[in-house]
């Protein structure tokens, strides 16, 4: 736990504590998921604070386990890259965005049901129909950190698109960008083909959509807090450990025998990467203070080359 960054660690702790408290209070006759969960906005039990609290409640052990596993696996790297404040902001924005997408999906479902059961149903009758079916609408409750976690998956794929990761049960590693795009495609397919399965697929996509536009905004307004260095060190350490154990070098997913092929040492590689990143940080800081046009031709070329390597 000491090696887990601050925000990721606290998010893990809070989610687990709330999950345990849910079972404790249930024995006392109180359903915390009903209190913290996100209700449909036309239901009497809806409260605005639920857009924040719902992402800390979960429906079962497997639900929280897989969410927290993904948060630990990818959140540690993203937080090391962005720092705690930026990471927490991103996590909350993705979670709230996922909740808004879920509310929109539920409204569409409500409208379709009302249109099928009531002839000549119009939007003007929405509140009247909602009040008449209040008890039913109160059952539309969403819980889980999945929307925020899917946003973290997207951030990992956008920050480190070329990094290869092993995903069970695939026998070979795949690039992070293909992993993220595959997950998004699956969720989009499931949203339209698996109605009534109890999974908020559109909420997952909502977390990714809000995360995508927030990252795009940050990239257009760079600041000195953005750095890939800390997160990249995680991958560099894994590669160095692999190379020490096997005597092979990682070259884009293809490992070559270091005894027969001459490559730069880990020390030289890390030193070069550190110097390149420090130079990029200086350029990004200059853009933040004076704008892109303040860069020299050489600095613009360095920025262009670095963006092509990402």
pLDDT at site 14: 97
pLDDT at site 297: 77
pLDDT at site 8: 96
pLDDT at site 199: 67
**pLDDT lower than 70: segments of the chain:** 1-2, 168-169, 190-199, 223-271, 288, 290-293, 304, 307-310
Residue ranges per domain, the chain?
6-220, 229-309
* Strand pairing report for 38-39 and 174-175: unpaired
For residue 309, the SS3 value is: helix
Which residues are CB-neighbours of 277 under 8 A, at least 6 positions away? 227, 228, 229, 232
Q: Report the CATH fold assignment for 6-220.
A: Rhomboid-like fold (1.20.1540)
Total residue count of the chain as it appears in this document: 310
**Cβ pair 294, 286 in contact under 8 A:** yes
pLDDT at site 308: 56
HEC profile for 92-127?
HHHHHHHHHHHHHHHHHHHHHHHHHHCCCCCHHHHH
């Amino acid at each position: 736990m000491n090696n887990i960054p601050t925000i990721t660690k606290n998010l893990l702790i809070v989610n687990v504590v709330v999950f345990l408290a849910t079972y404790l209070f249930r024995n006392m006759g109180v359903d915390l998921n009903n209190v913290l969960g996100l209700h449909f906005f036309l239901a009497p039990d809806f409260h605005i604070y639920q857009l924040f609290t719902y992402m800390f409640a979960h429906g079962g052990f497997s639900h929280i386990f897989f969410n927290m596993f993904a948060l630990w696996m990818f959140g540690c790297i993203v937080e090391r890259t962005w720092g705690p404040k930026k990471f927490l902001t991103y996590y909350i924005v993705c979670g709230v965005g996922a909740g808004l997408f879920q509310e929109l999906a539920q409204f569409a479902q409500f409208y379709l049901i009302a249109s099928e059961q009531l002839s000549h149903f119009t939007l003007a009758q929405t509140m009247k129909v909602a009040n008449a079916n209040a008890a039913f609408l109160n059952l539309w409750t969403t819980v889980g950190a999945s929307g925020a976690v899917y946003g973290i998956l997207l951030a990992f794929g956008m920050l480190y698109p070329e990094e290869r990761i092993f995903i069970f049960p695939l026998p070979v590693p795949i690039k992070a960008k293909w992993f993220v795009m595959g997950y998004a495609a699956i969720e989009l397919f499931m949203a339209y083909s698996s109605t009534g399965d109890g999974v908020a697929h559109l909420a997952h996509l909502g977390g990714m959509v809000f995360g995508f536009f927030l990252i795009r905004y940050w990239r257009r307004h760079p600041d000195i807090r953005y750095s890939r260095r800390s997160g990249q060190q995680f991958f560099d350490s894994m590669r160095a450990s692999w190379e020490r154990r096997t005597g092979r070098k990682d070259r884009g997913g293809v490992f070559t025998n270091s005894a027969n092929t001459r490559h730069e040492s880990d020390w030289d590689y890390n030193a070069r990467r550190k110097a390149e990143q420090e130079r990029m940080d200086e350029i990004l800081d200059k853009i933040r203070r004076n704008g892109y046009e303040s860069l020299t031709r050489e600095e613009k070329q360095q920025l262009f080359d670095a963006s092509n390597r990402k």
